[in-house]
Structure 1
Amino acid sequence: MLQELVIHDFAIIETLTIDFNRGMTVLTGETGAGKSIIIDAVGLLAGGRGSADFIRTGAKKCTLEGLFVVDDVTAIKARLETYGIPQEDDTILVQRDINQNGRSSCRINGHLVNTTILKHIGEMLVDIHGQNEHQELMYPEKHLGLLDHFAQKKIKPVLKTYQTQYAQYKKLRQTLKKRQEHEQEWAQRLDILKFQTSEIEAANLQLNEEDQLITERDRLENFQRINESLASSYQALNGDEQNTIDRLGVAMSAMQDIAALDPAYGALSESIDSAFYELQDAASEISRQLDSLSWDEGRLDSIEKRLETLTELKHKYGQDIAAVLKYYDKIKKELDEMENIDADNDELTQQVTTAKAAVTKTAAKLSKVRHQAGLALTSAVQQELADLYMDKAKFSVVFLDADQTPHFMETGQDSVEFYIQTNPGETSKPLAKIASGGELSRIMLAIKTIFSRNEGVTSIIFDEVDTGVSGRVAQAIANKIEIIGQSSQVLCITHLPQVAAMADFQLLIQKQVQANRTTTSVTPLVAKERVEEIARMIAGTEITALSLEHAHELLRLADVEKEQLTQLKN
């Protein structure tokens, strides 16, 4: 349940803190006092769409906080853990700020979340039933969803299996259709991929090969120049009696004789020693290079051809060898996928047939479960409508004929529409076409009453669902909302004294103008205050002795009614 709501700079509310209780709480007050604003705030905490228009004039942002107490900690804790949100006890703190740019900052138990996650968690905390929500019944395409929601424990696992099978069947069917429609293009593409992969595979490409080949080619093309330079260098270093190394050896010996006499001589001696041995090493390496140097015209031709092959592949498939290899990986994957799809259309056709048989069987099972759920929903709604003085009406869940829905859909093969017979002797017709606004409102309340028994939502909010009704129908609606309040916390905005009298708690919402600014206040009503507010709801602006007496009587009758409803439940 919603235990505490804190609002800052939201619409006409500057600062407001409201404590709520279990059971049924009504919010009453003049039109425009701010009752719906409070419900809007709760809706935003449950993941509703935010807007900068909610921010109070002159403020930089609005801030909302809600503290919820949950009875079934296990269920909501599992969902919180999905998003890495900590949960230690039975309370959940939800916070939301809306900035002037319209963006929201949302937190659950101090953990920053986006609005999608907030909505996913919020749907387990709050269910808001607005005065226009019965319009959902006006769209037959939504009726199947309502039926599935009613029997979700039985329908959901079958529907999940069906959707998995349907996705596989749809994929195979589309593949077959594509191949049948574009068989020539398919074959051409297959041939192209085979040729390209074979061509690249045959080249046996290596990442650094081209650079190495270019280096080797350059050496072969400059063989004469390299040979002459190496020979000349070796001759100068170690070729005759006047070679550089021998002469440096003489200098080295001479400096070694005086190296100990002066540090400067020692340093010079070390430098000459180093140069001598480095030149010796260089001469040895030059000699080795000369020995290994050879001319192979055939090898040069081979290198040129290999480089031509690499250039051709780069021209076709990429700017360098790495790009060619990347392209190869891509087309090899595509080729593997095409080859893995059965090459023979007859075999693929058999796969489609098998997949269709599986999805058909599951669709039939899903339809059977839905038909059973339809009967249960019909019976349950019929009972609720009787309580709402629509006992003459006959509600039914109609499944369209199979020939009207021959194709598989994401939701199955069923097409469902709610029908109603409003008066005896009339033909049952689509609810969306013949039901009045008051009837739609009561039917939706009946459905909501049924759903509330097993949804596990901590708070259910009714925003003026009793608009346009009076008399015994108003009392029936009040009784129905009170019954829901026995298993869930109910917050209800109402202008009907019958509904207000049935509440366990009553909050008076008032609007005042202070310092040229409009503010909203919330006052919990007890005893005399509550009698006076209900009397005002009965009489209007002027409270009379008769309206006060009527208010006392309504509260007394409400206590009797609640006691009877409790006994019926038990």
Structure 2
Amino acid sequence: MLELLHIENIAVIEEADIRFCPGFNALTGETGAGKSIVIDAMGAVLGGRTSRDLIRTGAEKAFVSADFSGVAADLAGLADTGTAPDENGHLLLQREIGADGKNLCRANGRPITVAQLRRVGEELLNIHGQHDGAQLLDEERHGAYLDRFGRTEEPLCAYRTAYDAMAELLERMKALQMNEAEKARRVDSLKFQISELERAELVPGEEEELTQRRNLLRNGEKYLSALSGADYCLNGGEDSGGALAAIRDAEEALAGIRTLGDDLAELYQRLETACCEVYDLAETVRDKRAEFDFSPAELDAVEGRCDLLYRLKKKYGATVEEMLEYLGRCREELDAIETADDTLARLERMLVKAKEAVMMAGRELTKARKTAASVLEQRIQKELRDLDMNKVRFAIEFSEKAPAPDGCDTIRFLMSANVGEDLRPIAKIASGGELARIMLALKNVLAEQEAVGTLVFDEVDTGVSGRAAQKVAEKLAQVSRHKQVLCVTHLPQLAAMADTHFSVEKGERKGRTFTQVVQLDRQRRKAELARITGGTKVTDALLQSAGELLDEAEAYRRGL
């Protein structure tokens, strides 16, 4: 149950705390006072789509929080957020909307994503908007309503698994099917690319080695000059000794006194170590100088190989490894084209079995849907009688269609508004008031199937008046005995039937428009009902009539 809705800087509402009660809660007010803004705030805190335009002019951010009680610990989607209701079963949802478009959402103080907030919100509260009745005009939604009522998840999942397997086979067959001219062109193109890459005899990692060798060859004279200079310094020449000879002389000079003290022994040892190291360096430099063989022909060959790799990379991949992967794909595609006829024949045999599986799963899904449709027709018919639509007949029509992701059935809701008239599609004959009541009936039936504890109805009275309005009010009162109901309304019958009545009032202060939400006592309820009934001129007769309406509603609620 939604206990407290806190709103800050949402449109014309600067700040408001609305403490909802169990049972039937009604919100009334002048057109434009901000009733729908309260509904928008509920949608926002439940993860609905929002716009920065929702933020009050001059404010940097908007904030909404909703405190729910009686929340089950195993509520769907809640485990993904890493949070849980407190020990009293309370769950606090919060959403902050910034002017920069950023959102900050929390569940019991723990940050969560908007998607997680939406998933949890769907299990706590259901909003029936004033335009939802028009959804009944979209026949593509009728199957979804039936599946939702019939809980056909299992057969629908089995069907979609079979359908997806069939669709994958069809895609594979489509990829293999091409005319002969197109096939010949593709084969020629693949063979040319394969031949060009195979002639290159690509080797993984060779590009890096070639680059290093090319740099070395391009700087051959400099390389030899440096090595020669280092060799002369280390090994010396015909006329002088090098560093190695000098270190050896120093080592021999200290050899005779190394036993005279620990420090001299250590010094001699260091010279000995240095001599070994310099000797290794001298040999390495000499070997590198001897093994380097500069050849202009080799440089030309390396340059040519680098140029070839550069040209191939522009066509087949950024690296040698990528070009080799592309070569592998070309070989696979060529092989697939050349063996396409055999592959197609094999896939066609598989497709026959896949289609049989789809049709079998489709029949099971249709069977489950027809069973659910029979029950839903009876339930909707009963709800419509309760809503003063005794002469209306409601039926669900099935017709076959080619397999599609949603099944093999075309499902349509039909109705007959008058005795003796044939059943026809709702979109063609239902009036606005009939649509509203049929949608209300459908929502009520679906709500009984779900664990959602709070139902919100935003102006479900559109197109409804008189006796029909009284029936709608009674139906909402009945629903409120096992679900919390929040209803935005313009009808006195609905407002009078509520257990708790709020007035949404708009005013001005310091040149700014402000909206506040006030809970009404009986005296103010009478005045509000009189205003709804008679407009701006509230007479004693209207007040008396409003009091009688409240008495009758209270008597009806006591009888539930």
Report the TM-score when normalising by structure 2: 0.82
Structure 1 residues 128 and 239 mapped into 2: Cα distance closer, same or farther (>3 Å)? Answer: same
What's 1:158 paired with? 155
Q: Cα RMSD between the aligned structures? A: 4.3
Q: What amino acid is aligned across from residue 14 of structure 1 in structure 2?
A: E
State the Cα distance separating 1:52 from its structure 2 match. Answer: 3.3
Among 480, 483, 492, the alignment partner of 1:488 is: 483
Whole-angstrom CA distance in 1 between matches of 2:234 and 2:57? 96
What's 2:396 paired with? 397
Q: How does 1:133-532 map to 2 (within 5 A)?
A: 133-151=132-150, 153=151, 155-181=152-178, 183-184=183-184, 187=187, 191=191, 203=203, 209-210=209-210, 237=236, 312-317=308-313, 323-332=319-328, 344=342, 345-400=344-399, 402=400, 405-406=401-402, 408-532=403-527
State the Cα distance separating 1:130 from its structure 2 match. Answer: 2.3
Whether the aligned pair in 1 keeps the contact of 2:71 and 2:85 (CA below 8 Å) is no
Whether the aligned pair in 1 keeps the contact of 2:93 and 2:105 (CA below 8 Å) is yes
Deviations 1:132-160 (A, max 9, x none): 22111111122122222222x2x122222
Unmatched 5+ stretches in structure 1: 261-265
Whether the aligned pair in 2 keeps the contact of 1:56 and 1:62 (CA below 8 Å) is yes
State the Cα distance separating 1:485 from its structure 2 match. Answer: 1.1
Whether the aligned pair in 1 keeps the contact of 2:316 and 2:323 (CA below 8 Å) is no
Q: What amino acid is aligned across from residue 326 of structure 1 in structure 2?
A: E
Whether the aligned pair in 2 keeps the contact of 1:26 and 1:491 (CA below 8 Å) is yes
Structure 1 residues 161 and 190 mapped into 2: Cα distance closer, same or farther (>3 Å)? Answer: farther
Structure 1 residues 541 and 248 mapped into 2: Cα distance closer, same or farther (>3 Å)? Answer: closer
Whether the aligned pair in 1 keeps the contact of 2:415 and 2:425 (CA below 8 Å) is yes
Deviations 1:280-336 (A, max 9, x none): 55665577679x869999xx9999879866764553246999811133235536756
Matched residue SS, 1:492: strand
Q: What amino acid is aligned across from residue 18 of structure 1 in structure 2?
A: I
Whether the aligned pair in 2 keeps the contact of 1:453 and 1:487 (CA below 8 Å) is no
Whether the aligned pair in 2 keeps the contact of 1:193 and 1:332 (CA below 8 Å) is no
State the Cα distance separating 1:417 from its structure 2 match. Answer: 1.4
Structure 1 residues 190 and 554 mapped into 2: Cα distance closer, same or farther (>3 Å)? Answer: same
Whether the aligned pair in 1 keeps the contact of 2:362 and 2:407 (CA below 8 Å) is yes
Structure 1 residues 423 and 309 mapped into 2: Cα distance closer, same or farther (>3 Å)? Answer: same
Whole-angstrom CA distance in 2 between matches of 1:415 and 1:525? 49
Structure 1 residues 315 and 559 mapped into 2: Cα distance closer, same or farther (>3 Å)? Answer: same
Whole-angstrom CA distance in 2 between matches of 1:84 and 1:75? 12
Deviations 1:448-472 (A, max 9, x none): 1101112222321112211332332
Whole-angstrom CA distance in 2 between matches of 1:235 and 1:487? 99
Matched residue SS, 2:95: strand
Structure 1 residues 256 and 157 mapped into 2: Cα distance closer, same or farther (>3 Å)? Answer: same
Whole-angstrom CA distance in 2 between matches of 1:496 and 1:15? 27
Q: What amino acid is aligned across from residue 47 of structure 1 in structure 2?
A: G
Whether the aligned pair in 1 keeps the contact of 2:190 and 2:330 (CA below 8 Å) is no
Whole-angstrom CA distance in 2 between matches of 1:307 and 1:357? 62
Whole-angstrom CA distance in 1 between matches of 2:498 and 2:234? 115
State the Cα distance separating 1:436 from its structure 2 match. Answer: 0.9
Structure 1 residues 62 and 302 mapped into 2: Cα distance closer, same or farther (>3 Å)? Answer: closer
What's 1:92 paired with? 91
Matched residue SS, 1:415: strand
State the Cα distance separating 1:204 from its structure 2 match. Answer: 6.6
Whole-angstrom CA distance in 1 between matches of 2:13 and 2:292? 95
Q: What amino acid is aligned across from residue 68 of structure 1 in structure 2?
A: F
Whole-angstrom CA distance in 2 between matches of 1:313 and 1:44? 57
Whether the aligned pair in 2 keeps the contact of 1:399 and 1:414 (CA below 8 Å) is yes
Deviations 1:511-548 (A, max 9, x none): 33333333223322234333443344444444444434
Q: What amino acid is aligned across from residue 92 of structure 2 in structure 1?
A: L
State the Cα distance separating 1:372 from its structure 2 match. Answer: 1.7
Whole-angstrom CA distance in 1 between matches of 2:133 and 2:234? 105
Matched residue SS, 1:366: helix
Q: What amino acid is aligned across from residue 528 of structure 2 in structure 1?
A: E
Whether the aligned pair in 2 keeps the contact of 1:106 and 1:112 (CA below 8 Å) is yes
Matched residue SS, 1:491: strand
State the identity as a percent: 33
Q: What amino acid is aligned across from residue 447 of structure 2 in structure 1?
A: S
Matched residue SS, 2:106: strand
What's 1:263 paired with? none
Whole-angstrom CA distance in 2 between matches of 1:164 and 1:338? 31
Whether the aligned pair in 1 keeps the contact of 2:194 and 2:330 (CA below 8 Å) is no
Whether the aligned pair in 2 keeps the contact of 1:65 and 1:96 (CA below 8 Å) is yes
Among 79, 82, 88, the alignment partner of 1:81 is: 79
Whether the aligned pair in 2 keeps the contact of 1:96 and 1:104 (CA below 8 Å) is yes
Structure 1 residues 359 and 193 mapped into 2: Cα distance closer, same or farther (>3 Å)? Answer: farther
Whole-angstrom CA distance in 2 between matches of 1:216 and 1:511? 84
Whole-angstrom CA distance in 2 between matches of 1:186 and 1:70? 66
Whole-angstrom CA distance in 2 between matches of 1:72 and 1:190? 62
State the Cα distance separating 1:474 from its structure 2 match. Answer: 1.3
Matched residue SS, 2:457: strand
State the Cα distance separating 1:3 from its structure 2 match. Answer: 0.8
Structure 1 residues 26 and 303 mapped into 2: Cα distance closer, same or farther (>3 Å)? Answer: same
Whole-angstrom CA distance in 2 between matches of 1:123 and 1:375? 27
State the Cα distance separating 1:273 from its structure 2 match. Answer: 8.6
Structure 1 residues 35 and 252 mapped into 2: Cα distance closer, same or farther (>3 Å)? Answer: closer
Q: What amino acid is aligned across from residue 420 of structure 2 in structure 1?
A: G
Structure 1 residues 469 and 366 mapped into 2: Cα distance closer, same or farther (>3 Å)? Answer: same
Matched residue SS, 2:449: coil
Report the TM-score when normalising by structure 1: 0.81
